[in-house]
């Protein structure tokens, strides 16, 4: 698969759609993080071996590293309020990007073994 295939599949992942057909949603309810086991449109099994959880752990580690860099490189006036803001910001980033990270993991798995 070339660059064009990656662009197509990544675009589908960003819209939380099936990497194979681009039509079926990955999630039943994004706010509750309720996923479909397979694509309602084409029947593609999204995560048959549970491999996407490893990607989520790795991407969370990368986000944590970025937040750690922010902590090291900034000189806040108030340590208390900077920590409150940092924790709130980290939770916001972790929770709002989780569905996209999950769908990106499914897309990357699909690119490795496309059927």
Q: Would you list the domain boundaries of the chain?
A: 3-112
* pLDDT band at residue 54 using 50, 70 and 90 as cut-offs: confident
In sequence order, what are the residues at sequence separation of 6 or more whose Cβ sits closer than 8 angstroms to the Cβ of residue 4? none
Q: What is the pLDDT of residue 21?
A: 93
pLDDT average, residue stretch 17-26: 94
Angle between helix 52-73 and helix 79-112 axes, rounded to 10 deg: 150
pLDDT average, residue stretch 49-74: 83
Tokens of 102: 């999950």
* pLDDT band at residue 26 using 50, 70 and 90 as cut-offs: very high
The alpha carbon of 49 is separated from its chain's Cα centroid by a whole number of angstroms, namely: 17
Q: What is the pLDDT of residue 115?
A: 59
Is residue 111 over pLDDT 90?
no
């Amino acid at each position: 698969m070339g660059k064009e295939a990656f662009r197509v599949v990544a675009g589908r992942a960003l819209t939380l759609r099936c990497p194979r057909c681009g039509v079926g949603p990955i999630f039943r309810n994004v706010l509750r993080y309720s996923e479909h086991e397979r694509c309602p449109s084409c029947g593609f099994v999204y995560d048959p071996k549970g491999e996407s959880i490893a990607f989520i752990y790795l991407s969370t580690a990368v986000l944590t590293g970025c937040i750690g860099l922010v902590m090291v490189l900034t000189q806040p006036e108030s340590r208390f309020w900077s920590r409150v803001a940092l924790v709130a910001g980290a939770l916001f980033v972790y929770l709002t990007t989780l569905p996209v990270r999950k769908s990106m993991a499914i897309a990357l798995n699909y690119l490795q073994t496309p059927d």
